[in-house]
Amino acid sequence: MNNNETEHVECLIIGSGPAGYTAAIYAARADMKPLMYQGMQPGGQLTITTEVENYPGYPEGTDGPKMMEDFLAQAKRFGTDVRFGMATKVDFSGPVHKVWIDDNKLIEANTVIIATGASAKWLGIESEQKFNGFGVSACAVCDGFFYRGQDVAIVGGGDTAAEEASYLAKLCKKVYMIVRKDELKASKAMQHRVFNTPNIEVLFNTETIEITGEQTVSGARFKNNSTNEEFTLDITGFFVAIGHTPNSSIFKDWLEMDENGYVKTIPGSSKTNIPGVFACGDVQDHIYRQAVTAAGSGCMAALDAERYLATVGIEA
């Protein structure tokens, strides 16, 4: 097929990962013949997660890339048309939704399921990427268990960082909370929790210079911006909790979003403000952000899409 040709489908899934793949499984089983474009990071954030031990059905645990391969294989088994490519523009003005892939291929879809996820914000230092998945993580709830009884650091000063520091404190021997400013942005309740936890030490006016180690993290160098003094901490885990950015920018002219760019869905559903367009996973969930909740919302999106097709009289 020529890239400039228009293709019409009943169900287009934008993005992969637990939400997208689960939506594909349900949509394919409902004979909606879903077409999926995987996006820039096929499999989503789990592809940079080494070990997954909290997803049901894997009693011995698994690693993120293998788990996403399993999801993909199951989606393909039921007939999902999975392709490489990224949605770059949309037009949701009519009953048939238009989505351009890689700027030149037009897909017209009766239903669209958005599962583009969110990207963790990183500090941007070279060593952070070097040790990503080998001591560096953006999810304390996902990976904190592996640092039981060890010393770790977490960067951030907001509610998420405070909450994750408190979570880590239950598992780890010592938690250093690295805060760039001279105060926490977190709510007063979360601040009280942090300051009243004996094994959390908050280091204000502090920036990370470098994360150190051989194969895995064994320490990090920091700088106190008040004194310009540099110092080193012996840690085995380095957590970044400075926020996430939902991958929703191409939808901003069409879909209702909150102030941070997360797509708003009608409570108890995956429905957006545009009929026939549904959102699932981390692009609309800034609270839980877990593989299992993303998968659940992907199921909801496929069921909502199937019911929409039946309601408007389009055969799925």
pLDDT tens digits for range 74-107:
999 999 999 999 999 999 999 999 999 999 999 9
First to last CA, the chain: 24
pLDDT at 243: 87
pLDDT-derived band at 48 (thresholds 50, 70, 90) equals: low
Question: Of 63 and 241, which is predicted with more confidence?
Answer: 241
Residue 314: pLDDT over 80: no
23-37, 39-53, 209-223, 283-297: the lowest-pLDDT one: 39-53
- C-alpha–C-alpha distance, residues 264 and 261, integer Å: 9
pLDDT-derived band at 173 (thresholds 50, 70, 90) equals: very high
pLDDT at 3: 53
For the chain, give the percent of residues with pLDDT over 90. Answer: 83
Q: Pick the catalytic residue: 81, 91, 139, 159?
A: 139
Q: Pick the catalytic residue: 11, 142, 172, 280?
A: 142
Which domains, and CATH codes, for the chain?
6-119+244-311 (3.50.50.60), 122-240 (3.50.50.60)
Q: Pick the catalytic residue: 143, 282, 285, 304?
A: 143
**Closest-CA residue to 106 (of 93, 95, 92, 90):** 90
The verdict on whether 142 is a catalytic residue reads: yes
Return the HEC string of 182-237: CCCCCCHHHHHHHHCCCCEEEECCEEEEEEEECCCEEEEEEEECCCCCEEEECCCE
SS3 content of the chain, % helix, strand, coil (to 5): 30, 30, 40
Residue 297: pLDDT over 90: yes
Q: What is the DSSP letter of 146?
A: G
Question: Strands 174-178, 200-203: parallel, antiparallel or unpaired by DSSP?
Answer: parallel
- C-alpha–C-alpha distance, residues 277 and 260, integer Å: 20
Average pLDDT value over all residues in the chain: 93
Residue reference for tokens 């400039």:
4
Residue 1: pLDDT over 60: no
- C-alpha–C-alpha distance, residues 152 and 122, integer Å: 17
- C-alpha–C-alpha distance, residues 176 and 232, integer Å: 12
What are the pLDDT digits (tens) for 209-243? 999 999 999 999 999 999 999 999 999 999 999 98
Residue reference for tokens 């990090």:
220
pLDDT at 316: 43
pLDDT at 142: 83
In this prediction the pTM is: 0.80
Question: Of 50 and 46, which is predicted with more confidence?
Answer: 46
The verdict on whether 139 is a catalytic residue reads: yes
pLDDT at 50: 63
The verdict on whether 299 is a catalytic residue reads: no
Radius of gyration (Cα) for the chain, nearest Å?
21
